[in-house]
Amino acid sequence: MKKAVNYLQPFMEKEKQDAGLEGQSFRGKVLMATVKGDVHDIGKNIVGVVLGCNNYEVIDLGVMCPCEKILEAAVKHSVDVIGLSGLITPSLDEMTYVAKEMQRLGMKTPLLIGGATTSAKHTAVRIAPHYQEPTVHVTDASRCVGVVESLCSKELKPKYVQDNVKLQDELRSSYEARQVKLVPYQEACAKSFATDWSSIRIDKPSFLGTKTLKNYSIEKIAKYIDWSPFFMAWELKGKYPKIFQDPYVGVEAKKLFDDASAMLFDCIASSTLTAQAVYGFWPAASLGDDVVLFTDESRSKELVRFHFLRQQWERKGQNDFRSLADYIAPIDSGRQDYLGAFVVTAGHGADEIAKEFESKHDDYSAIMVKAIADRLAEAFAELLHEQARLDWGYGIEEQLGSEQLINEEYRGIRPAPGYPACPDHTEKRILFELLDAPGQIGVSLTESFAMWPAASVSGFYFAHPHSRYFAVDRLTSDQVESYAKRKGMPIRDIERWLSPNLGYEPS
């Protein structure tokens, strides 16, 4: 544990040795959990290490924790603070539910909110109003000790809570006063991204249907790793390899990289991590904002249908409002187009290795193996996209180095359900059924559509020469109603899954 926190010391507000805490009793008790439906815990585990090294007792409930389990444990252990973590957007709703339950039960325990999809503004607007006790957003592990210390101190707590309330009032006022012009859905459709379908280049994949890659070489995947996000996970900010020259974090970043490289070498040598993938291509055509996939080239029988959302936020200089469906030839265009899809994982074995390290009280290595698995999964997605472009034909023309691949200087995109261009996580269900990801490579979905193993990546392949990533952002009720009808789901359910994107307050 001490080894892990060494890498975070440049950013920690309180350090155990400097504070003279060696040998003292616990300063407080903190319960931590990744909420129901979510499986990501690297950031939470780093926070736990930091708090543990500052003499706080940490009770970690792990991942996919239902509300009742969290609150029962909080009462049972008489904790001073509850910390909730989550990565995927459905976790935001679960955190709100926990806050509501804490209020209903009359609890007084301060609540901390953290994770990649969380923010100070979202916490202020969507979570804090449901719980009258302190509800604090924590940006990263470097801030956690100062926050917990303030909330556990009789002297510091009143002023800290007062400042937090003031900040959240300001954030709510800013949110309510925001000027966001959303055009009606029909107007957005009329101003869709335009393509001259009579002349645009459309390539045909070399195969249709799926291919499965079992026990793929970790050594080959490792060559595609983008290391910059790895350092961000450890809160060492900087781009690889320039981070090694950073006067503030360079030395520790190099030590961290050397340890990661050594563990990666061990994983390759011992085959303890397993990488697998399934991907494929299908005849496709757009129908409004849907994309229809067909069983074969006759295009006479529908296989599945994906549902996409369209931009409505009118920004200065904006000429069109995009949907991913714009990148697929319309059904009445006379052109034969295709859509690809994939799921990759490098997570089989990671959880077991991490648990073995944890049993030996080696928190640092447990976190490290999960961080490496995450990087390998992203690298595998990059490698497979390169293979998909070759299979599609146009990739043969590429002459790209590793830096150009990281910068995505190639034709086509691979957006994923739950991300800005298609924020609805429920589309993953269709994607996973299409690819039979559970049966082919052992990757499944939780009830909140997080992927398990956690070190997994999924998405679509679009080959349109002018395709690019974009954010759907805010939505009006008329689009949400249309979307619910297209998907055959109740509006209330759609509003719940799209809650971070709603440009209105649901009734």
- At a CB cut-off of 8 Å and minimum separation 6, what does 211 contact? 278, 279, 280
- Of 374, 335, 344, nearest to 464 by C-alpha is 335
Q: How far apart are CA 136 and CA 151, in angstroms?
A: 10
What is the model's pLDDT at position 324? 98
Diameter of the chain by CA atoms? 76
pLDDT, residue 53, reads: 87
What are 262's two structure tokens? 């050594």
Catalytic residue among 85, 91, 448, 467: 91
Task: Name 322's Cβ contacts closer than 8 Å, sequence gap at least 6.
Answer: 192, 193, 310, 311, 421, 470
Identity of the amino acid at 462: F
User: Cα–Cα distance between 365 and 38 in angstroms, integer?
Assistant: 22
Instruction: State the average pLDDT over residues 360-374.
Output: 94
For 125-153, what is each residue's pLDDT tens digit? 999 999 999 999 998 877 899 999 999 99
> Quick check: 92 pLDDT over 90?
yes
Q: Are 206 and 393 in contact (CB under 8 A)?
A: yes
Query: Cα-flanking dihedrals φ and ψ of residue 117, to 5°?
Result: -90, -10
Q: How many Cα atoms are found within 13 Å in the side-chain-facing hemisphere of 355?
A: 5
Band of pLDDT at residue 24, cut at 50, 70 and 90: low
Cα–Cα dist 15/143, whole Å: 12
pLDDT (mean) for 237-262: 94
CB-based contacts of 298: which residues, under 8 Å, 6+ apart?
none
CB atoms within 10 A of CB 507: 7
Tokens linked to 131: 């719980």
Confidence of residue 408 (pLDDT cuts 50, 70, 90): confident
C-alpha distance across the termini of the chain, in Å: 48
482 is catalytic: no
- Tell me the β-bridge partners of 337: 284
Write out the H or E segment, with its range, that includes residue 100: helix 90-104
pLDDT of residue 141: 77
Is the pLDDT assigned to residue 5 strictly greater than 80? no
Q: What is the average pLDDT value for the chain, to the nearest integer?
A: 92
Token duo for residue 327: 């990148």
Q: Give residue 142's pLDDT.
A: 76
Domains of the chain: 2-176 (3.40.50.280), 185-216+274-346+373-501 (3.10.196.10)
Range list of H helices, 398-504: 402-406, 427-435, 437-441, 477-487, 491-497
pLDDT of 18 strictly over 50: no
What's the whole-number mean pLDDT along residues 224-233?
A: 93
CB atoms within 10 A of CB 184: 12
pLDDT the model gives residue 154: 94
Quick check: 11 pLDDT over 60? no
Task: Encode pLDDT of 117-132 as tens digits.
Answer: 899 999 999 999 999 9
Question: What percent of the chain has a predicted confidence (pLDDT) above 70?
Answer: 95
Active-site annotation holds for 142: no
pLDDT tens digits, 250-302: 999 999 999 999 999 999 999 999 999 999 999 999 999 999 999 999 999 99
pTM of the model: 0.91
308-314 mean pLDDT? 96
Tokens found for residue 22? 């060696």
Is 363 a catalytic site residue? no
